[in-house]
Amino acid sequence: MRIIAGKLKGAVLYLPQNKNTRPLKDRAKENIFNLLSHSNKISLQFENSNILDLYAGTGSFGLECLSRGSGNVCFVEKSKEVIKILEKNIHKLKFQKKTEILSNNIFDILKKNNFFKCKFDLIFCDPPFKDVDISKLINKIFHRNILKKGGIIVIHRKKSTDETFSNFFKIIDERIYGVSKIIFGKFLF
């Protein structure tokens, strides 16, 4: 696994030894970033953007954003073992001042009012494929008002998963890569 583009293009990331973490494949990540950067359906500027990387794992998505000029990334990961790998990747790439790691379940974090220091331009949700109720998470994000107006949510799911979202979440684009389905959406404010 590596950084695909930006000032740290080619940097190799540490990976966990166990198979409990499912890192985002380089091909899928490259396609996601191509759409975020070049699609006429999506308006996102990485320069100085605020990113929320949920179920962050090794941090490859958020670190890719930083390499492309994002201002800061908040990583949410509950596995202590995986957080150690995430921290190693952050230190290796020297992004300590631009990152924050929250070691908890995202639903517990979202129960607290005004927990996040800012609103986000982009939220990446990559829960384990066995987690079936992603719509509950999207509803919590909406009600906590942590996505900027016009901000984008990217969801990584198993392609066979059938998602149902509330009517305030508009799917902009959906792509299939191997066993993965990538959903790009935004809120209708």
Per-residue pLDDT reduced to its tens digit, 126-157: 988 777 678 999 999 999 999 999 999 999 99
Residue 48's nearest CA partner among 127, 118, 125, 144 is: 118
Q: Is 174 within a domain?
A: yes
pTM: 0.93
- Given a cut of 70, whether residue 47 has pLDDT beyond it is yes
**What single DSSP character describes residue 181?**
E
Count up the domains in the chain and report the number. 1
Q: Is 21 within a domain?
A: no
Q: Is 18 within a domain?
A: no
- CATH code of the domain containing 122: 3.40.50.150
* Beta carbons of 156 and 28 less than 8 angstroms apart: yes
Q: Is 149 within a domain?
A: yes
- State the angle between helix axes of 60-67 and 26-38 in degrees (0 to 180), rounded to the nearest 10: 40
With cut-offs at 50, 70 and 90, classify the pLDDT of residue 164: confident
Q: Is 13 within a domain?
A: no
Residue 47's nearest CA partner among 122, 129, 116, 113 is: 122
- Given a cut of 90, whether residue 163 has pLDDT beyond it is no
Q: Is 140 within a domain?
A: yes
Q: Is 146 within a domain?
A: yes
Range of the domain at 94: 26-187
Q: Is 118 within a domain?
A: yes
